[in-house]
Structure 1
Amino acid sequence: MADSSFTLRPLRRDDLELVRQWRNHPEVRRYMYTQHEIGAEEHLAWYERVRHDESRYLLIFEPDGRPTGFINFHVVDSKARRAEWGFYLAPDAPQGSGRKLGLIALEYAFENLGVHKVCGEAIAYNMRSIRFHERLGFAHEATLRDHHFDGDAYHDVIGFGLLVTDCSKIKEDANK
């Protein structure tokens, strides 16, 4: 599945401003649980809080050496080897970058982190993320009714899961 022109590397302090710009872009922010614009101090405080957490893996996706996306894995249950993930792309990411980000990130989770299951969530109005998870082979495992309140309204949240045993389908799809 790996393509040497697409790499992942750990998030560095000097990436923070770029990642914060991506996160604050209206087309990214509108699908997040916290939708306010994140300030530099808040972003730095988050980074300082999670960077030494051994259950978190903060990664930068780089096609051809150009930072283009952010991935966050959180191993929430080390005994069951279950991780949650979140991700977003730069607003100007080239077409097809999301699929490549997903494939390389999942390969990293299963092969480098040794997780058995990756879980993801999408607010029900985020059809792009829902389709993305489905195309990567995730199973729709839950609909959490009125699970997220954005300050104005309640929204359902869709829960997804992908098992390490599903990797053969991912690798097969990656080679198409």
Structure 2
Amino acid sequence: MMHSTTLRPLREDDLAMLLRWRNAPEVRRHMYTQHEISEAEHRAWFQRSHDNPNRHLLLVEQKGQPFGFVNIQLLDNEAQRGEWGFYLSPEAIQGSGQALGFTALEHAFDVLKLHKLCGEALFGNKRSQRFHERLGFIQESHLRDHHFDGHTYHDVIGYGLLHSEWHACQGV
């Protein structure tokens, strides 16, 4: 795992870099929205998300250099439940995903005080499925033909991780 990995809020001056990452074919093909996103669409998403107090847009950095993005959406404040999405820079080095995952989960459970964090992966995205499982997530659903990308239906795998499970994995 990479040491000294930090999170910081996404800023407007990060948008061009983030859009470049998001539109990279190796990132885009595993997203619900697979078309190439325009700058106007990206800015509109940022403004909507930035104005929403339940959205946490976070840049993941190693020694001040950004290498990933995490989006945590608070779904139910009373139940302390949220969902996450994430991706790495196409140039991220080996091991970056694990650093992103651990740092984001520490934030979700220790800073945001979530009881449960949920995630999803398209069925064909085996890498994301293995990633969730390595972090301790439990598969909670297999939703058949759940997402239509404009051409094809895709199954979606749903994951959940409880605060207690995360801390048990960390030896806390």
Structure 2 match to 1:89 = 88
TM-score, normalised via structure 1 length: 0.94
Moved more, 128-137 or 146-155: 146-155
Is 2:62 aligned against 1:58? no
How many Å apart are 1:168 and its aligned residue? 2.6
Q: For structure 2, list consecutive stretches of 5 or more residues without a partner in the other structure.
A: none
CA distance in 1, matches of 2:155, 2:146: 5
CA distance in 1, matches of 2:151, 2:42: 24
Structure 1 match to 2:71 = 72
Is 2:165 aligned against 1:166? yes
Runs of 4+ off more than 4 Å: none
For residues 87-119 of structure 1, the C-alpha deviation after alignment (integer angstroms, 9 at most, x for no partner) is 000001010000010000000000110110000
C-alpha contact 1:123 1:157 (8 A) present in aligned 2: yes
Structure 2 match to 1:105 = 104
SS of the residue aligned with 2:59?
strand
For residues 60-105 of structure 1, the C-alpha deviation after alignment (integer angstroms, 9 at most, x for no partner) is 0001110100000000111110000000000010100000100000
Q: For structure 1, list consecutive stretches of 5 or more residues without a partner in the other structure.
A: none
Amino acid paired to 2:83: E
How many Å apart are 1:167 and its aligned residue? 1.8
How many Å apart are 1:169 and its aligned residue? 3.8
Cα RMSD (Å) of the superposition?
A: 1.4
Structure 1 match to 2:150 = 151
TM-score, normalised via structure 2 length: 0.96
% identical equivalent positions: 57
How many Å apart are 1:153 and its aligned residue? 1.4
Structure 2 match to 1:122 = 121
Structure 2 match to 1:29 = 28
Moved more, 146-155 or 16-25: 146-155
